[in-house]
Structure 1
Amino acid sequence: MAVLLLLPAVRPDAEVNVPRGWRKSDRFYGFRYEVRGLVQDVGFLQAAVHAAEELGCFGWIQNSKVNTVVGEARCSKLDGPKMVEFLRFGPDDARVTEVLVKPYEDTKIKLHFASFLALPDERKTCFRAIPHQCPEYAGPVAPPADTSYQDHSLTADVRAKSEL
């Protein structure tokens, strides 16, 4: 006798009726970022890859055409803020002036890799909205009315380090 078990159709990423602590958003922190300042040709990509590996994050980083460093990361809930903190300072030769971070509510990143990679500059990775907005979507409009967008501009003490 065959037994047929019928289960309700649920999207694999659905977090409906999932106990607190077991949801992806309780365990992971995914975000997109853009780092501004003197951040290209100073070892920023390699330092970020190393920091992400140390923290157990995966994702990507890349030099942009507008002399910033951009990327996405997905880390544990505890280590995501540590990765953001690394981006605020970068390696010793970098002079970070501003970091824009857009946390993802569902923690999923657009380009998913099994590790953290430095992508070639020519690979197209931009988005419809800032940070790292594609030129074809840019306009005279300020940041979108996206409530999850956060501008992590540097504080005066961090700016002082970047002016050394």
Structure 2
Amino acid sequence: MPGPDLDEKIETYYVRVRGVVQGVGFRHYTVRRAHELGVRGWVANLDDGSVEVMVQGAANQVDRMLEWLRRGPPHARVTDFFSEERFLDKRFERFEQH
């Protein structure tokens, strides 16, 4: 009997990035990267100049998205990266920009 498919387990992470992350297309590129990887959730600017992201998907997808968020798009400069796993019952249907 085959073992469980690891991609069936859904992980959800909350991420906050600081640095030069607003006004450089960070949210736009985050949505594009999320769609490429197949993760769901959202990205939003905060009033303090940081960006927050909720990422949900299979472990390997989430890991790749978190790795990308540590760097951000070409014109961004991430100076602080925080992430923590969240345990949500909610399942996001797509990845959106707020």
TM-score w.r.t. structure 2 length? Answer: 0.87
* C-alpha separation in 2, matches of 1:88 and 1:40: 15
Structure 1: 4+ residue segments shifted above 6 A:
none
* C-alpha separation in 2, matches of 1:95 and 1:82: 18
Conserved in 2, the CA contact under 8 Å of 1:31 and 1:109? no
- Measure how far apart 1:109 and its partner are: 6.8
Cα gap change, 1:113 to 1:94, in 2 (>3 Å): same
Indicate the structure with greater helix content.
2
| Identity fraction in percent | 31
Match of residue 93 from structure 2: 114
Match of residue 83 from structure 1: 65
- Measure how far apart 1:77 and its partner are: 1.1
Conserved in 2, the CA contact under 8 Å of 1:73 and 1:109? no
Conserved in 2, the CA contact under 8 Å of 1:72 and 1:109? no
CA RMSD of aligned residues (A): 2.1
- Pick one of 26, 29, 32 that aligns with 1:50: 32
Q: Paired residues, what number? A: 96
SS at match of 1:40: coil
Conserved in 1, the CA contact under 8 Å of 2:39 and 2:94? yes
Offset from partner CA, 1:18-47 (integer Å, 9 cap, x none)? xx83799x6222110100100001010010
Instruction: Tell me which amino acid in the other structure corresponds to 1:116.
Output: F
- Measure how far apart 1:75 and its partner are: 1.4
* C-alpha separation in 1, matches of 2:89 and 2:79: 25
TM-score w.r.t. structure 1 length? Answer: 0.53
Match of residue 29 from structure 1: 11
Aligned pair 1:71/2:38, yes or no? no
Offset from partner CA, 1:40-72 (integer Å, 9 cap, x none)? 010100100011111111100000011000021
Conserved in 1, the CA contact under 8 Å of 2:6 and 2:58? no
Gaps of 5+ in 1: 1-19, 120-164
- Measure how far apart 1:113 and its partner are: 3.4
Instruction: Tell me which amino acid in the other structure corresponds to 1:82.
Output: R
